[in-house]
Amino acid sequence: MSDVCLQAENLHLWRGDRHVLRGVGLTARAGEVLQVVGANGAGKTTLLRTLCGMIQPEEGRITWAGRDVREDLHAFHAQLAYLGHEAPLKAELTARENLRYWIGMRRRVSPAEIDRALEQTGAGAVRERLVRTMSAGQKRRVALAGLLLLSVPLWLLDEPTTNLDTEGQALVGRMIEEQVRAGGIVVAAVHHALMVAPERLKRLELSSP
């Protein structure tokens, strides 16, 4: 299990004229939380999207369990969950249906499991409601339930506590602790410190370009 490890070396990326990622390197091993911090515009979102293979870096490479992720992108994607600034939910479906289709595409999932996850993230009360009618924080909670259900080792989270109330922020902290305790890896872009026991935390500081 010690070889489950996300590594990036010397990533370079330009957006327009802007050299956004300038030789970023990182290592995240099983059981670790990597906090990506940096001022607004430092490149946190860009880094996360590059790590999950959605943007091709112009230089540098990313390895998962020792192998370049480009060798088998499908297999790598099957191991990761990415949660961006917006929750990937369909406004016209209910919370349950959303999870059924989103998760079901990747693994077999039972309605009971879905309900359990929604309960855990405090979205049990809105499970039959259309996502369109939910408040910003309620949507986030449904997306977090999806994250739990995917049960993959690698989480890439972009400001996961956005729109959540205090209780919800604590929930995210607990979810992350649980994930690394089970041997997973969490890479999270954050502005507010995560509520996680400090011994597991690593920091990667991006400086503004």
Partner 1 sequence: MMEFLEMGGYARYVWPSYALTFAVVILNVVWARRALARSREQARRRLAMQEEPT
Partner 2 sequence: MSTSTVMQPAASSTSALTAARLVLERDLRLAFRKREQLVQPLAFFAIVTTLFPLSITPELSRLREIAPGVLWVAALLSSLLALEFLFRDDAQDGTLEQYALSGQSLTWLLFAKTAAHWLLTGLPLSLAAPFAAGALGAPASAWTGIVASVVLGTLALSLLGAIGAGLTLGVKRGGVLLSLLVLPLAMPILIFGSQATELAMKGASIAAPMYLLAALTVLGVTLAPIAAAAAVRISLE
Partner 3 sequence: MAWTWFHRLASPPHVYRLAERLTPWFAWSSALLILAGLYGGLVLAPPDYQQGEGFRIIYVHAPSAWMSLMVYTVMAVAAAVGLIWRMKVAHAVAASCAPVGASFTLAALVTGSLWGRPMWGTYWEWDPRLTSELILLFLYLGYMGLRSATEDVQRADRASAVLAVVGVVNVPIIHYSVLWWNSLHQAPSVMKLDKPSMPLDMLVPLLLMLLGFTLYFVAILLMRLRGEVLSRERNASWVKEALSR
Which residues lie near partner 1 (CB under 8 A)?
A: 17, 19, 207, 209
Question: What whole-number distance in Å separates Cα of residue 56 and Cα of residue 124?
Answer: 38
**x-or-dash string of contact with ligand ATP, 127-166, rule CB under 6 A:** ------xxxxxx------------------------x---
Q: If we measure between CA atoms, which residue out of 124, 75, 73, 131 comes closest to residue 102?
A: 131
**x-or-dash string of contact with its own copies, 100-119, rule CB under 8 A:** --------------------
Structure tokens at 5: 């490890």
Cα separations in angstroms, 82 against 66, 112, 148: 20, 24, 12
**Contact between 75 and its own copies (CB under 8 A)?**
no
2 binds, among Mg ion, partner 1, ligand ATP, none (CB under 5 to 8 A by kind): none
Residue 195 burial (C-beta neighbours within 10 Å; 0-12, 13-18, 19+): middle
DSSP state of 98: H
Which residues of this chain interact with partner 3, rule CB under 8 A? 14-16, 19, 56, 58, 132-133
Site residues for partner 2 per CB under 8 A:
1, 4, 52-56, 74-82, 84, 86-93, 97, 101-102, 104-108, 116-117, 120, 148, 150-153, 174-175, 178-179, 181-184
